[in-house]
Structure 1
Amino acid sequence: MFTDINPKLPMRNKGITRDFYLNKLDFQEFGNTDFDGYLMVQKDSIQIHFFEFKEINPKENYSQVYVRTDNIDKLYQTMLDNNLCIHPAGHLQIKPWGQKEFSMLDPDNNLLTFGQSI
């Protein structure tokens, strides 16, 4: 029955969010229509959607998304090579639940955690 999931995260500024995901994380914009206050990005087989929430206080934003990958070491190194800010408590590590993961924050403090089963 279920076939996919596309998380929807808040964004304060569509231009800043678009720039971060397209130019820093190498996503592409999904679709050919520019919707006011809404953004869809994709990379490989995942999509993340964003809705405009100009009033959100990033310090009070607890939105999170977990992205599974099949090459966590390469992804982590690419992010370091591109000088992307890894979350201070989210450097690459093996977790007790059998995942190797790391985390980062986007411009609106949405927590992105990347993980691979070990």
Structure 2
Amino acid sequence: MLANLQVIPRLPAINLEETQSYFENALGFTLISRYPEYLIMKSGSTELHFFEFKELDPLINYSMIYIRVPSGIEKLYEELRTSGAIMHPNGRLESKPWGLKEFAILDPNHTLLTFGQLI
């Protein structure tokens, strides 16, 4: 019954302009829609929605998403390292014991974006 559904994260953003700029310039997303307090960005089949939350404290933001990479995670990691993406201090590319190669970045709101590829 749930097999054909698409999951689209809705994430908090302190400043929608800054969030849009980061996702466009550092991560290569494109703008789909922009409203006064809502933003929709897309890259390939990945779609992210952002709602304005000016009171968000980025140091206690527990928002996280996991993005499965079908192949080429090493190349993606290197591209993001040089694109202006904010690398998580403990998020370097490495093989994990659960059979995935992963790395992590942060957005300006401190949302954790983890990228993973099956080994």
Bin of the TM-score, shorter chain as denominator length: over 0.9
Q: Give the SS at the match of 1:22.
A: helix
Matches within 5 A, 1:24-103: 24-31=26-33, 34-70=34-70, 71-103=72-104
Counting aligned pairs with the same residue, the percent is 43
**Separation (CA, whole Å) in 1 of partners of 2:59 and 2:29:** 25
Aligned pairs, how many?
116
- How far the C-alpha of 1:30 sits from its partner, in A, is 1.6
**Aligned residues: CA RMSD:** 1.1
Instruction: Give the AA of the match of 2:48.
Output: I
Q: Give the SS at the match of 2:23.
A: helix
Which residue among 5, 8, 11 is the counterpart of 1:6?
A: 8
**Separation (CA, whole Å) in 2 of partners of 1:83 and 1:64:** 19
Q: Give the SS at the match of 1:30.
A: strand
Name which of structure 1's ranges 74-83 and 55-64 shifts more when overlaid on structure 2.
74-83
Aligned to 1:108: 109
**Separation (CA, whole Å) in 2 of partners of 1:83 and 1:15:** 16
The TM-score with structure 2 as length reference comes to 0.92
- How far the C-alpha of 1:68 sits from its partner, in A, is 0.7
Higher strand share: 2
